[in-house]
Structure 1
Amino acid sequence: MKILHLVGAQDDSGGILDVIRSLQSATAAQGCQHLVWVNQAYHETRRPALTYRYSRYLLAESPNHLRLLFGACRALIELRRLLRQERVDVLHAHSRGALPLTAALAVLWRRNVLFTNHAYARRVGLYRWTARRRHCHTVLLTPNMARHYRLPLTAPNVHVISPCVADPFFLHPLVERRPAGPAGPVVRFVGVGNLLRWKNWLLVIEALAALPGSARCRLQFHHWGPLPNSPESAAYLDELRDCTRRLGLENICRFQGFAPSIEAVLAAA
């Protein structure tokens, strides 16, 4: 089986490509082949390697919704050309940039397409409309996401999966118990994920600030994750750092950037 993932990523970061890598590893024994349609600006920086096809127009994310829409419309022409050259069994679209493309495939081409939603959008209308199309099969990550989009779990083409964790995380202990220091144990916890506003990393800073000083001094929080290439994400990082300085949490709350090894980050917690 050959699966074409419609992503439009411009850089090798974020959870969507992690999910596809996990799918590739999990289904290799069954003979599944995963192809990833990314933007032509994309460069692979992580392993295991994936197999790519390239688009001039498809974008995974942009704060400009019209740019996403026009890019998806032009990518539809590219996709028709690609599918004439290469037969695929499953079209699997991912998140915001591929949503208009998903709607076009389901309505105009009447082609079955699997759409996995990885994010909480502010404007939910197009997501709801697309999920009701006969040829679209929508996958949501949690029941809470279904409530956010006001999609009934009983709908025939709506499916909910549990939050995913790669199998290797369960094969060995990630955290070792360390002896307490003279002032008591220090609790180290980490956050892993892209620096996106909807993930609400600001809540962690505010929660730490709300603790009594005697408890706060025994905590450390390190965030690991890439900064998406967008002005909105850059402004959000500045906001997080400003809030950390203003609340006097520089020594216990840090944003470390890209993590080459998630296992190593978790092991240090």
Structure 2
Amino acid sequence: MHDINAPTVLHFVGAGRDVGGTLSYVRSLTRQNGARNVLIVQKGFTQTREPYMRLLKIKEGDYGSLVSPMAALDSLKQIFWLRRKLGRHPRRIFHGHSRGGVLIGIVLALLGYKNVVVTIHINGSQRWFYQLGHRILKDRMIFLCPAMKRYYGLSADNWRDCIPGSVTPKMRRPGKTNPPFFGPQSEQKLTLGGCGIVVAWKRWEIILEALGMLSRDLRSRVRFVHVGDPLDEAISKEYAQRLRNLVTQHQLEDIVEWRGHQNDLNDFYSEIDLLVHPAENEPFGLSVVEALFAGTPVLASDSVGAADLLKKENGLTFPTNDARALASVIASILSGETPFPRVNRQSLRPLEPDYLGARWAEIYARLMDRTLA
């Protein structure tokens, strides 16, 4: 039972489908944030992932873009009814997540609403927009990690004003007791994993190109398993075909497996030795958090936000978009030159659901104090 004085938080995502990390993030923060949580989505939205949330549906539109004036207008149109909802019920809070949600949050703040907060989920190309938004919202603009703040040219000496996502309790596994041993005399096969949608900015081709650079002997000791589907968009499907062509080009058919979408990833994280996260400038990457809580270390590009978690422990990094450097890291693991990384569970405490939930509860309580003062 919720406290009758608990706020109701309207999470504006504006999604048309139940896919992507933003919705996973919202779900991860709703369990222990002391609020009633409502998800604002498009009319055709159907929930396919747990935990299921109460839905508030709005007209179909483009709420995930700021590139075109029409997309911005779709979001701005929602301000009229949101003002009524926030004005009539002072214990309601607007929490914007998508680009459109951030735009709405900025406008509401300019209109004098104090019960507004936004979370930035992307390293957007319109940096000026987010810098302007930060000047307006100040501590009501929350980032996922310090790397994201640095991307926007903001001070980021620690995790202050940063709240990443977390994982469901069932994703928290003890992991392997002993890390695998690799070296010249080892017969151990290195199983690499990739987890995420099949889109170009995830840079899955970097892994395939790196595998293609390995010597035939080393290639026989590695395999790559990917879970995730292309989006229902032509550009994403074309990218998926490009990846299949690379598999053929580099003769990787025997060591690469595309498994598509999987609801339960526990077996996947238990099966792989190392999660490879080659994305370019990805803000954080919830799959990284999932892997670490499952006890699986991560090999990530050095431009992703999660790289802040991979310093001296939990995994390794390689230069972004550098397939040759990635191949070198893989080869050095297989040869035993690079010690296999281990997950330090104590370092994951700031990512625990109860810890993050408590932080959001504090933010919502602060907004209520300002609104009701």
Normalised TM-score (structure 1) = 0.82
What is the CA–CA distance in structure 2 between the aligned matches of 1:104 and 1:63, rounded to whole Å? 14
Q: 1:244 to 1:262 in 2, by over 3 A?
A: same
Of 114, 124, 129 in structure 2, the residue corresponding to residue 126 of structure 1 is: 129
Of 22, 26, 29 in structure 2, the residue corresponding to residue 16 of structure 1 is: 22
- Partner residue of 2:163? 161
Q: Identify which range, 93-102 or 61-70, moves more after superposition.
A: 61-70
- Tell me the SS of whatever aligns to 1:232: helix
Contact 2:123–2:151 (Cα < 8 Å) also in 1: yes
- Partner residue of 2:351? none
Q: 1:142 to 1:199 in 2, by over 3 A?
A: farther
What is the CA–CA distance in structure 2 between the aligned matches of 1:245 and 1:66, rounded to whole Å? 42
Report the alpha carbon displacement of residue 65 of structure 1 after superposing the two structures with TM: 3.6
What is the CA–CA distance in structure 2 between the aligned matches of 1:222 and 1:119, rounded to whole Å? 26
- Partner residue of 1:252? 255
Matched, 1:5 2:11: yes
What is the CA–CA distance in structure 1 between the aligned matches of 2:173 and 2:133, rounded to whole Å? 39
1:101-116 maps to which residues of 2 (within 5 A)? 101-116=104-119
Alignment-mate amino acid for residue 39 of structure 1: Q
- Partner residue of 2:98? 95
Of 193, 197, 219 in structure 2, the residue corresponding to residue 190 of structure 1 is: 193
Q: 1:41 to 1:195 in 2, by over 3 A?
A: same
What is the CA–CA distance in structure 1 between the aligned matches of 2:67 and 2:260, rounded to whole Å? 25
Matched, 1:49 2:52: yes
Summarize deviations over 1:55-92 as a string: whole Å, max 9, x none.
11454535964343121111222423444566543221
Q: 1:112 to 1:268 in 2, by over 3 A?
A: same
What is the CA–CA distance in structure 2 between the aligned matches of 1:216 and 1:233, rounded to whole Å? 28
Contact 2:147–2:156 (Cα < 8 Å) also in 1: no
Contact 1:112–1:137 (Cα < 8 Å) also in 2: no
Alignment-mate amino acid for residue 24 of structure 2: D
Contact 1:194–1:225 (Cα < 8 Å) also in 2: yes
Contact 2:25–2:165 (Cα < 8 Å) also in 1: no
- Partner residue of 1:173? 175
- Partner residue of 2:222? 219
Contact 1:63–1:230 (Cα < 8 Å) also in 2: no
Q: 1:205 to 1:86 in 2, by over 3 A?
A: farther
Report the alpha carbon displacement of residue 23 of structure 1 after superposing the two structures with TM: 1.9
What is the CA–CA distance in structure 1 between the aligned matches of 2:92 and 2:110, rounded to whole Å? 18
- Partner residue of 2:270? 267
What is the CA–CA distance in structure 2 between the aligned matches of 1:175 and 1:93, rounded to whole Å? 41
What is the CA–CA distance in structure 2 between the aligned matches of 1:73 and 1:95, rounded to whole Å? 13
**Larger RCO: Structure 1 or Structure 2 (Cα < 8 Å, ≥ 6 residues apart)?**
2
What is the CA–CA distance in structure 1 between the aligned matches of 2:109 and 2:164, rounded to whole Å? 25
Q: 1:152 to 1:23 in 2, by over 3 A?
A: same
What is the CA–CA distance in structure 2 between the aligned matches of 1:254 and 1:226, rounded to whole Å? 13
What is the CA–CA distance in structure 1 between the aligned matches of 2:81 and 2:233, rounded to whole Å? 25
Q: 1:152 to 1:124 in 2, by over 3 A?
A: same
Report the alpha carbon displacement of residue 106 of structure 1 after superposing the two structures with TM: 2.0
Summarize deviations over 1:5-42 as a string: whole Å, max 9, x none.
11011111112222222222234xx4x21111011121
Identity %: 25
Task: Identify the structure with the greater strand proportion.
Answer: 1
Contact 1:115–1:136 (Cα < 8 Å) also in 2: no
Contact 1:107–1:133 (Cα < 8 Å) also in 2: yes
Report the alpha carbon displacement of residue 176 of structure 1 after superposing the two structures with TM: 9.2
- Tell me the SS of whatever aligns to 2:140: strand
Of 38, 41, 44 in structure 1, the residue corresponding to residue 41 of structure 2 is: 38
* Gapped regions of structure 1 (runs ≥ 5): none
What is the CA–CA distance in structure 2 between the aligned matches of 1:80 and 1:231, rounded to whole Å? 37
Count of residues paired in the alignment: 262
Contact 1:223–1:257 (Cα < 8 Å) also in 2: yes
Report the alpha carbon displacement of residue 172 of structure 1 after superposing the two structures with TM: 3.8
Summarize deviations over 1:139-191 as a string: whole Å, max 9, x none.
22222222222122379xx72235644444334437998999xx922222222
Report the alpha carbon displacement of residue 53 of structure 1 after superposing the two structures with TM: 0.5
What is the CA–CA distance in structure 2 between the aligned matches of 1:81 and 1:151, rounded to whole Å? 34
Summarize deviations over 1:223-259 as a string: whole Å, max 9, x none.
2224334343333323322333222223323333221
